[in-house]
Amino acid sequence: MGIPGKNGTYICYGAAIQISWKGVVFLFLYTVRPGDSLYSITRTFNTTEQPVIDGNQLRNPGQLVIGQSLVIPVENVRHTVAPGETLSGISRLYQIPADAILQANPEITNPSFLRAGQILIIPSPMKILGTKRVNGYAFPSVNLDTLKKVLPWLTYCSIFSYRVSPDGSLDSIADEPAIRTARGGSTAPIMVITNIRAEGGFSSDLAQSVLSSDAVQNLLLDNILRILKEKGYIGLNIDFEYVYPQDRQAYNNFVQKAAAILHPAGYILTTSLAPKTSAGQRGLLYEAHDYPVHGKTVDFVVLMTYEWGYTYGPARPVAPLNLVEQVIRYAVSVIPPEKILMGIPNYGYDWTLPFVRGTAAKPLTNPGAVELAARVGARILFDEKAQSPHFSYYSNGKRHEVWFEDGRSINAKLRLADRYGLGGVSYWTVNSYFAQNWLVMDSLYRVKKVIG
């Protein structure tokens, strides 16, 4: 799965307290510019401050960061043209293309001349693209209030994880509260099994112990069925990582055996796959993950399209859109797109430079990254190719580089999933609340629910 922690009308739920905006039909993405204040921004969009504060988890509304992305939920935006104002100036003010303004205002016959006092409709760039499935991984220890906030936007909650043992037994986890909470929010709980050692870290040897023995697999599947029934899960996610290349066929056989047992019993089966860009991609993480076989066998695959920038690696975007798209392009060539859930990270990293192999980056929540930028006086930049926000700063004489996610990067990722006709997306993880993400999600997708 990656780390940290692993080796119309919209109703929205907000930051530290639960809030509801009824009648919100537009959402704008706005990037803070020099001289902006919360007051000036909300005046521009003819809205009040509190929805913006809550929707962006602004702990200090008086300290915005240049380059910070804000989501602006509004009922409508109508702009009164001031004397001498131009279409290009209005376009820059609202940060949307001039062509979009022209399309929304067909009465404009001469774009080079606007009449003072003329009322223009300013269209939101966000519109519902369709219905998607959304999975969120959560630890059994997830704060239940945090979990409740995100459940309106989740189809599935995959609770991470039961560790397999070489003999086919499973460890015990306290997952009952998360299961009850998920079901209470009409979100289907999914059981997750992993080849993680008791001391931590994925183990190739542990996977081999299971995959090389029919007896062990049979016992493991018996234990899985028992837990699925006892605890009220609706299905299973198999997340075996760093499987030896020579165990590729054995892993395929195990997935097929699991499907043959679980499907007749009424359970769904999903697997987590490394982010491959070709069938022959080399590397321990990739070679045993057979995209065509998994795509044919299971109900959904979760593509782990994150961790290009990772804890023990050099500073770079966690999920750069250009590289994510390369994975998606290969995946849809061998797996039905409607079976694919594209992974999205809900975190960022703070690296100390220069990078020294063996040193660890510090994980950050996405709102926490913006708060850090405010605290150190950094300006947030946006990498257009990677569609990722970042900034740098100095501390104790050392340069730091931070990459994270914001409303713009989430918007780009969700639109990528739509462009390729994917079944949906999957978040690693929903353990921390990221209000911008869910507002953008709400403005682009209807989330499919499979339980009442």
Instruction: Write down the pTM of the prediction.
Output: 0.91
Nearest Cα to Cα of residue 151 among 451, 366, 412: 451
Q: Give pLDDT, residue 19.
A: 34
- Name the residues annotated as catalytic: 241
List, in order, residues 6 or more apart from 73 with CB less than 8 Å away.
10, 12, 21, 24, 26, 27, 47, 51, 52, 55, 439
In tens, the pLDDT along 100-155 reads: 999 999 999 999 999 999 999 999 888 889 999 999 999 999 999 999 999 999 99
What tokens appear for 446 in the block?
């209807």
Query: In the chain, where are the structural domains located?
Result: 130-447
Q: What is the DSSP string of 13-64?
A: --SSS----TTB-EEEEEE--TT--HHHHHHHTT--HHHHHHHTT-SSTT--
Contacts within 8 Å (CB) and 24+ apart, 106-109: none
Which residues fall within 8 angstroms of residue 247, CB to CB, at 6 or more apart?
207, 208, 211, 212, 288
Report the chain's mean pLDDT, rounded to a whole number. Answer: 93
Q: Could you read off the pLDDT of 190-240 as tens digits, one per residue? A: 999 999 999 999 999 999 999 999 999 999 999 999 999 999 999 999 999
Q: How far apart are CA 36 and CA 269, in angstroms?
A: 49
- 130-447 homologous superfamily: Glycosidases (3.20.20.80)
Q: How many CB atoms lie within 10 A of CB 92?
A: 12
pLDDT 10s digits, 320-364 = 999 999 999 999 999 999 999 999 999 999 999 999 999 999 999
